[in-house]
């Protein structure tokens, strides 16, 4: 029953927020906060239960009419647990970051809880059909969060997000149908059955079409900067923090077991796509004048490291990919929160209009510098171990062909330090002489991001030990060994 609660509690919260929120901001955010916090506590309980039970997955389900499929089936193991906990954690902070939302607060908070429930269902689905239904359900609340509570071009950005992801999902559905015709069971936790050798290549690329859009890889990434820039702060936190992770999770949970031979054959292509994402995202981030768009393009670069790690096909590479996903969820969440905080005070994101904010609002300045250092992969912070391990595993698999990734690493430092210099240092612009520092609530949010970023930087084994049993199985399935 505990496995059901991360999906059920947010859905109950949606109903109660709609019924009793009554358009009142205080009541709506209180109800949403209670259910988000309760859901996060349940994810911690599941982490403890899974730890006590060893590597055995925890399951809940109702057998469907189709024998052996268990249509309504949820499960959690070491691969899904870090992302489930991350989703519960970020939802709490997303609600806190939208504390002052004025327009339709009841609908806003209900949609955040609905989004959490849908994402939880993706990570907990133990049935291929349920996985796809939950995957599609994620589109609905995110579309409305962007299109209603976003900025000037919000409707165009929301529509672009919907079209890209929906078309990719349509191809993924075809892949699922082809796969379902050649496997005995649709259960996916523990390994979905492999497709017939003759159809594995077709199955893999159909599945990958939908999954790689969500990562996103270049050139399927163009929806991401627009969606991030136009989304409200809470939407950006959830979009970067958990929605992008659905692509990487789907590659490991569904595409690899369903088509291991095709996945192995496609590994060099995935590595190239990852390398392009690292360099292309960093170059474009360095050239941005909009602070939020800079952070958005950094996500393309970081997800490139994740794809490179997966392409290595080793248990260490898969563990690195999971660590990168968790780290990026925290670091990007902090970055988008801070950009939203400064935008709320200045009503601009133009980097050229900032400068010297670190001396005027030192708490914001310190947090912003910390986020930039975490993003560039400073040793001791969460971004370093996963990205270093991804490069090492990529080098072990592909040799010097991944050397250009080093350029992306240098450019990552360049755009992050450029942002620090332009925003936090220099002479304070006269128009910001009365700007206020982070409030108590905002300091709590920033600290809540900072603590796990430091913790994972010092103890990456927290994630790697959870994923290791599943990573070894996946690596053997792909033929990558240890």
| Sequence-separated (6 or more) residues with CB below 8 Å from residue 238 | 90, 91, 94, 112, 115, 116, 119, 142, 145
What digits encode the pLDDT tens for the residues 138-165?
A: 999 999 999 999 888 899 999 999 999 9
The residue among 21 and 294 whose pLDDT is bigger is 294
Asked whether residue 222 is assigned to any structural domain, the reply reads no
- Looking at every residue in the chain, the average pLDDT score rounds to 90
φ/ψ of 350, rounded to 5, equals -70, 120
Asked whether residue 286 is assigned to any structural domain, the reply reads yes
pLDDT at 481 over 60: no
What digits encode the pLDDT tens for the residues 352-364?
A: 899 889 889 999 9
The residue among 106 and 426 whose pLDDT is bigger is 106
**Which DSSP helix (H) or strand (E) runs through 61?**
strand 58-62
Asked whether residue 182 is assigned to any structural domain, the reply reads no
Asked whether residue 409 is assigned to any structural domain, the reply reads yes
**Whole-angstrom distance, CA of residue 335 vs CA of residue 370:** 9
Q: Which is it for the CA torsion 124, 73, 7, 132, positive or negative?
A: positive
**Which DSSP helix (H) or strand (E) runs through 454?**
helix 440-458
pLDDT score, position 54: 59
Asked whether residue 35 is assigned to any structural domain, the reply reads no
pLDDT at 452 over 90: yes
Asked whether residue 365 is assigned to any structural domain, the reply reads yes
Range of 295's domain?
Answer: 269-482
Asked whether residue 460 is assigned to any structural domain, the reply reads yes
Output the CA torsion 24→29→32→35 (10° steps).
-120
DSSP 379: T
54 exposed, middle or buried (CB, 10 Å; 0-12, 13-18, 19+)? Answer: exposed
Calculate mean pLDDT across residues 300-325: 93
What digits encode the pLDDT tens for the residues 47-93?
A: 988 876 556 778 776 654 445 545 568 889 989 999 999 999 999 99
What digits encode the pLDDT tens for the residues 246-258?
A: 999 999 999 998 8
pTM (2 decimals)? 0.93
pLDDT score, position 339: 95
- The residues with which 350 forms a beta bridge, in sequence order, are 290
* Number of folded domains that form the chain: 1
Share of the chain above pLDDT 90, in %: 67
CA angle 246, 252, 256 (to 5 degrees): 130
- The residues with which 73 forms a beta bridge, in sequence order, are 61
Share of the chain above pLDDT 70, in %: 95
Asked whether residue 349 is assigned to any structural domain, the reply reads yes
Region of poorest pLDDT, from 103-117, 376-390, 444-458, 462-476: 462-476
């Amino acid at each position: 029953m505990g496995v059901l609660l991360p999906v059920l509690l947010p859905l109950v919260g949606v109903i109660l927020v709609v019924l009793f929120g009554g358009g009142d901001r205080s009541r709506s955010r209180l109800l949403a906060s209670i259910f988000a916090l309760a859901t996060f506590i349940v994810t911690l309980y599941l982490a403890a239960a899974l730890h006590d039970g060893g590597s055995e997955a925890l399951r809940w389900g109702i057998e469907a009419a189709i024998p052996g499929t268990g249509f309504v089936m949820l499960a959690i193991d070491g691969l899904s647990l870090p992302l489930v906990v991350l989703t519960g954690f970020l939802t709490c902070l997303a609600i806190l970051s939208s504390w002052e939302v004025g327009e339709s607060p009841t609908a806003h908070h209900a949609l955040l809880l609905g989004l959490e429930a849908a994402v939880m269902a993706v990570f907990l689905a133990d049935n291929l059909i349920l996985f796809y239904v939950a995957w599609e359900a994620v589109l609905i609340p995110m579309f409305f969060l962007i299109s209603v509570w976003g900025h000037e071009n919000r409707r165009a950005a929301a529509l672009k997000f919907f079209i890209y992801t929906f078309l990719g999902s349509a191809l993924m559905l075809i892949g699922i149908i082809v796969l379902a015709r050649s496997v005995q069971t649709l259960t996916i936790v523990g390994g979905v059955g492999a497709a017939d050798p003759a159809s594995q290549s077709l199955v893999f690329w159909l599945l990958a079409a939908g999954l790689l859009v969500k990562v996103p890889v270049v050139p399927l990434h163009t929806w991401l900067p627009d969606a991030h820039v136009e989304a409200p702060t809470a939407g950006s936190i959830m979009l970067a923090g958990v929605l992008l992770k659905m692509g990487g999770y789907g590659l490991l949970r569904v595409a690899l077991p369903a088509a291991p031979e095709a996945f192995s054959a496609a590994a060099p292509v995935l590595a190239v796509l990852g390398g392009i994402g690292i360099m292309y995202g960093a170059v474009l981030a360095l050239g941005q004048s909009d602070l939020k768009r800079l952070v958005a393009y950094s996500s393309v670069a970081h997800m490139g490291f994740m794809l490179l790690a997966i392409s290595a096909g080793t248990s260490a590479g898969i563990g690195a990919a999971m660590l990168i996903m968790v780290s990026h969820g925290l670091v990007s969440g902090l970055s988008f929160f801070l950009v939203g905080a400064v935008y709320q005070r200045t009503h601009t994101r133009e980097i050229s209009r900032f400068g010297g904010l670190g001396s005027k609002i030192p708490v914001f300045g310190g947090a912003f510098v910390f986020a930039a250092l975490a993003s560039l992969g400073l040793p001791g912070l969460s971004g370093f171990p996963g990205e270093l391990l991804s490069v090492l595993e990529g080098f072990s698999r592909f040799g010097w062909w991944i050397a250009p990734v080093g350029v992306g690493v240098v450019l990552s430092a360049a755009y992050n330090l450029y942002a620090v210099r332009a925003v936090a240092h220099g002479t304070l612009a006269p128009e910001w002489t009365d700007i206020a520092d982070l409030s108590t609530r905002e300091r709590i949010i920033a600290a809540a991001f900072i603590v796990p970023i430091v913790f994972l930087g010092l103890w990456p084994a927290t994630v790697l030990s959870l994923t290791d049993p599943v990573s070894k199985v996946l690596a053997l399935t792909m033929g990558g060994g240890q």
